Chain A
Amino acid sequence: MADLNQLPDELQLATAQHVKYIQSLDTRKDEYDYWLTEHLRLNGLYWGLTALHLLRHPDALPREGTIDFVLSCQHESGGFGAAPGHDAHMLYTVSAVQILALVDAFDELEKRGTGKLKVAQFMARLQDREKGTFAGDEWGEEDTRFLYGALNALSLLDMLHLVDVEKAVNHVVACANFDGGYGVNPGDESHSGQIFTCVAALTIAKRQDLIDKDRLAGWLSERQLPNGGLNGRPEKQEDVCYSWWVLSSLSMIGRAHWIDREKLIGFILRSQDIENGGISDRPGNMVDVWHTLFGLTGLSLLGYAGLDDIDPVYCLPKSTVNRVLGKSM
């Protein structure tokens, strides 16, 4: 591979190729990997669709087909699986709600699904009412990712009252570390991904006052490496996906200007596959829809031209969040 850090300055966002790449994802049924990753299908749809909205091609995937597929993943319990026949899980349920929010189809839940309430109850039941934590499913794995997911989807559904938000907030606070960051569980080291979930959860709960903002932002800003990319923890490699976890956290607490904007833009653009579309974890590597979305959300937070604004709390276009939450534009 040629040294991709040396690409020309005039590097542009390859919008048309990215759209084509995302459209092609569901046509690869003759590839073994397509089947090995079926447990990510619903998430993949969310990643791809959100990316298309940011790229201003919201209709590049058919709306009806999208809704049909989402509803085909729903269980009687109200929860969603990754694909038909897959067990329900918090992560898939959140993706389902986000997709339906994107295509403005909550009413389809009432018409053809179990109804909003049951979806919300599925998630609410996963809260441990003593500790405030959330499990991913009936088997009990706990993680602040699930807590955030629940608060995200429940607030979109306007059903936050079904859970004990205060207890959830207490748990997030217990995950805080001396360095201002947050870990998977109380006592675990700070990690950019987990920081995003905790800061976003506190933001949804309107409790940002509990965040040690300067210290946290200091730690987050040190995630930027000389090549412009961001890493997830000290002494680790950079990766495009942290453009989202780190930068969204900084944005939420009003410190996005604590990193070098131009350098990060350059890093993300260099990670594109200019010919075939898609963005990879770092320049020269294989692309996938996950890094494609988080490269684009990163660019969007940086105000890169030609992209719609992303909401740093919900990881949905701002216009979607405003519509759903009834805010004025």
Chain B
Amino acid sequence: MYPSYSIPEVALELEYRPYFINTIKSNMASHGIARTIRGRTDQQRLQDLEKIKIYRDLESQVRSRAALGNYDLALFNLTTKLLGLNPEYHTIWNVRRRCLLSGLLPSPLDEPPSLNAPASQAQSSNAPSLNSDGSVFQSELTFTIPLLLKFPKSYCIWSFRKWVLSQAILRLQAPIAREIWESELGLVSKMITRDSRNFHAWGYRRFVVAKLESHELQGKSMAETEFTYTTNAIERNLSNFSAWHNRSQLIPRLLNERGADDKMRAAFFDRELNNVREALDVGPEDQSLWSYHSFLISHLVDHRGRQTIVPALTLPERTAYLRREVDEIKDLLEDYPNIKWIYMGLLECSLGLERLGYEVDRSSSSFHGSETWLLKVRALDPMRAGRWIDMERDMKRVEVRQGTLM
């Protein structure tokens, strides 16, 4: 079928979906919605009252049934309706979970998953049709998809989905559970395509991948495919900080799994560095790119107790890298003379060189050290003057306490 484009769908995708930290806040309230004149017409008021009545009737039905402790199919169906109206209602998701646990889900497996176990064991006392083939899990997951598309940053919905999936592991044979988990990757890719920075979706992706890699689901490492996934995401949008971040997280494991020796590691490091520098050619103001550049540089200078990508580089090799970076970044100045980030990159590399004990000829007329670059940064970035003043003070101390950047 040909995907034709209708305008409203598109407009929906552009809507800004914010982040809420303190609570599971409804985005029906106020993020990104233009202020309009308050006050409703009488007709709107009546409509609201009608809506309230329907909503509250439904709510009181759910409550009174739940109070009786009768978590049956009727109550389950009521939660479907109510959550359709208000998918942020955390208590109702709990009622739904209780309904599922009271017989709608297949019984937990008594034994750990085994390849030799029979594929299905009809044990559920209550709903034989929804048994060990996983269909009830599928229908629960399907139920949440439209809600998630409407509320892509709702903590409740994401967390309910995780819970359903975890129940699948407890209650289904591993191969069947695995199929269900695998299809989650499709959904999460779709969510990331709609909003490439949805951190719920990225976190969820890591969660799903970790499970798919785990023994519980008879998995193996997916570092290679996930790494490729970040490459593709970055090629679609260089500013995708989330993808760059995930990439940085994957690298150490990737190299270990490849059994990379020192030479392979150095080659890998070169390629990453070249790649991000090429990206900087077209996006010299992009914080995501500079952040990844800085991540790579930190492996030459200061990897903060983490596993470094290139442990075997000698000191001269590391200074050579940094000197080349200084030259390459300086070259950007020819086309982009007034971009703070370029000077910050130079400042960082210079501080790195100083930290590695590299001796520069300060008397040379072509000398540019960290002081030079800091002056430029300060001039270009008055908003953060406090930071640059502090840094200057720190650099002036006899023992150059190494400031860090980005």
Contact = CB atoms under 8 A, between A and B. Distances in A.
Q: Are A and B a genuine interacting pair, yes or no? A: yes
Interface in A263-313: 263, 273, 276, 280-281, 284-288, 290-291
B71 interface: no
Contact of B384 (A35, A259, A285, A291): A259
Interface stretch (B88-96, B181-189, B273-281): B88-96
Interface string A25-36: 000001111011
For A137, A179, A226, which residue has the most chain B Cβ atoms within 10 angstroms?
A: A179
Given A43-B23, A255-B387, A258-B386, A218 B203 contact: no
Interface stretch (B24-32, B139-147, B217-225, B364-372): B24-32
A224 B404 contact: no
B6 interface: no
Contacts of B393: none
Given A214-B403, A234-B288, A91 B304 contact: no
Contacts, number: 199
A89 B294 CA distance: 40
B288 A193 contact: no
Interface stretch (B46-54, B102-110, B255-263): B46-54
Given A37-B26, A37-B28, A89-B90, A285 B35 contact: yes
Nearest to B243: A189
A63 interface: no
Interface stretch (B121-129, B155-163, B321-329, B331-339): B155-163
Contact of A91 (B23, B88, B89): B23
Interface string B173-203: 0000000000000000000000001010011
Given A39-B90, A189-B245, A219-B406, A141 B159 contact: yes
A284 B37 CA distance: 11
A4 B279 CA distance: 35
Q: Is the interface of A mostly helix, strand, loop or mixed?
A: loop
A218 B304 contact: no
B231 interface: no
Interface in B215-266: 239, 241-242, 245-246, 248-249
B241 A215 contact: no
A128 interface: no
Interface in A184-235: 184-185, 187-191, 193-194, 196-197, 212, 214-215, 217-219, 221-222, 224, 226, 232-235
Interface residues of A, number: 76
B94 A221 contact: no
Contacts of A219: 406
B45 interface: yes
B383 A237 contact: no
A43 to B, nearest CB: 5
Nearest to B166: A140
B291 interface: yes
Contacts of A280: 30, 35
Interface stretch (B14-22, B72-80, B112-120, B354-362): B14-22
Given A87-B90, A187-B206, A260-B384, A285 B33 contact: yes
B21 A178 contact: no
B81 interface: no
Contacts of A239: 18, 31
A32 B199 contact: no
A31 B55 CA distance: 12
Contacts of A317: none
Nearest to A217: B387
Q: Is the interface of B mostly helix, strand, loop or mixed?
A: helix
Contacts of A232: 19
Interface size range on B against A: 35 or more
Contact of B197 (A87, A139, A214, A236): A236
A136 to B, nearest CB: 8
A321 B246 CA distance: 39
Nearest to B56: A35
For B26, B248, B386, B403, which residue has the most chain A Cβ atoms within 10 angstroms?
A: B386
A210 to B, nearest CB: 12
A106 interface: no
B38 interface: yes
A109 B88 CA distance: 29
B144 to A, nearest CB: 15
Contacts of A288: 29-30
Contacts of A284: 34-35
A255 B403 CA distance: 14
B191 to A, nearest CB: 15
A216 to B, nearest CB: 10
B403 A286 contact: no
Contacts of B19: 191, 193, 232
A39 B88 contact: yes
Contact of B406 (A38, A43, A179, A191): A179
Contact of A188 (B32, B199, B390, B404): B199
B295 interface: yes
Nearest to A235: B239
A1 B21 contact: no
Interface of A: 1, 30-33, 35-40, 43, 81-82, 85-87, 89, 91, 137, 139-141, 145, 177-180, 183-185, 187-191, 193-194, 196-197, 212, 214-215, 217-219, 221-222, 224, 226, 232-237, 239, 241, 245, 255, 257-260, 263, 273, 276, 280-281, 284-288, 290-291
5 contacts: A36-B26, A36-B85, A191-B199, A193-B21, A239-B31
Top 4 closest A-B pairs, CB basis? A193-B21, A257-B386, A288-B30, A234-B287
